Amino acid sequence: MDSLLIYGSVQGNPLYDCTGKTPEQWTSLLGTRRTFLGIALIIFGVFIEIIYVPCLGAIYKRGLLKHSCYKIMFLLGLTDMIATCTATILSGCLFTVGAVFCTYPELIYVAGCFALGGWVSSCALTLLLVINRISDILAPTISELIFSNNHTWIVAMIPILYTLSVITFTPGIIFNSTVMAWIGDPMIYENRSKE
């Protein structure tokens, strides 16, 4: 979201300037409609989101949050739900119209910031879970010190703050229906993306 903070808007940043053509022209010039893939991703994403709700509900209602590993897994589940919305449901919608960055620049940029943040958060929370499980086995005294009671929530603030800093201060990844991915390059300038 650094472009929003520095330039006041996504298109205020010269690297993301889409004013040369209309969104429809950008889509027809650079986009590729992938309707079947888009619909499949939307269906899969909705299915996964529906499955996640009772899973996280079970962790919450059965009192499993008293265990440090379940606290971390609960946060990881919430992160995955947010990331799944971007990676499947939103991507599916964008694939069905053949979107590129300049089709919906603000939406794609902000969603890309959250997609990158979701990935970073998943990685950091997974690493925290690994540290939690290994310390429980190899160094139970240290594990008790770091992860007992509400200490887990405090320690989990490290990945959460890291995620928020990535979302806020790092350029987002950009959706492109032609390359079928979220990438770092908006691919709107000729001869600049041929690496």
Q: What CATH number does the domain containing 28 carry?
A: 1.20.1070.10
**Closest by CA position to 188, among listed 12, 20, 10, 3:** 20
The model's confidence at residue 29, banded by pLDDT at 50, 70 and 90, is confident
Residue 194, domain member (yes or no): no
The token duo for 8 is 């006041």
pLDDT tens digits, residue range 104-123? 888 999 999 999 999 999 99
Q: Which domain holds residue 131?
A: 2-7+22-183
The model's confidence at residue 52, banded by pLDDT at 50, 70 and 90, is very high
What whole-number distance in Å separates Cα of residue 125 and Cα of residue 133?
12
The model's confidence at residue 126, banded by pLDDT at 50, 70 and 90, is very high
**191 pLDDT higher than 90:** no
Please check whether residue 136 is in contact with residue 143, taking contact to mean a CB–CB distance below 8 angstroms. yes
Please give the average per-residue pLDDT across 135-147, as a whole number.
Answer: 91
Q: How many domains does the chain have?
A: 1
**98 pLDDT higher than 70:** yes
**Closest by CA position to 17, among listed 2, 7, 27:** 7
The model's confidence at residue 46, banded by pLDDT at 50, 70 and 90, is very high
- Quote the pLDDT of residue 193: 52
- Cα 56 to its chain centre, rounded Å, is 19
Residue 171, domain member (yes or no): yes
- Quote the pLDDT of residue 8: 75
Helices in the chain by DSSP H: which ranges?
2-7, 23-30, 35-61, 68-84, 91-97, 105-138, 140-147, 151-169
Please check whether residue 26 is in contact with residue 18, taking contact to mean a CB–CB distance below 8 angstroms. yes
Q: What is the mean pLDDT of the chain?
A: 89
Residue 191, domain member (yes or no): no
Given the structure tokens 């990438």, which residue do they identify? 183
pLDDT tens digits, residue range 153-170? 999 999 999 999 999 998
What whole-number distance in Å separates Cα of residue 65 and Cα of residue 60?
6
Residue 14, domain member (yes or no): no
Residue 189, domain member (yes or no): no
